[in-house]
């Protein structure tokens, strides 16, 4: 009967260790996924900022073109 108790105890310990490992692995995957999503979102935001700035710059009048039209150099 003593061996059965030891086997049961070892099984319970192994199951606890396995479950702890699974929890740690899940947390690591969750954190990595959150980081990937954050990087992707920031990349999209930066792309949109660059496009907006490019449009704003294109909308500005070129001061050299204005001088060329008036003959002032």
Higher pLDDT, 68 or 26: 26
pLDDT at position 73 is 52
Sign of the Cα pseudo-torsion (54, 60, 62, 63, in order): negative
pLDDT at position 2 is 87
pLDDT in tens, 26-64: 999 999 999 999 999 999 999 999 999 999 998 887 767
Higher pLDDT, 6 or 67: 6
- Per DSSP, 73 falls in state -
- Tell whether the model's pLDDT for residue 19 goes beyond 70: yes
């Amino acid at each position: 009967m003593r061996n059965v108790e030891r086997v049961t105890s070892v099984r319970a310990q192994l199951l606890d260790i396995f479950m702890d490992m699974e929890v740690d692995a899940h947390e690591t995957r969750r954190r990595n996924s959150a980081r990937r999503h954050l990087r992707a979102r920031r990349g999209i935001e930066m792309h949109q900022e660059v496009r907006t700035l490019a449009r704003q710059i294109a909308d500005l009048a070129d001061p050299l073109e204005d001088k060329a039209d008036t003959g002032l150099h």
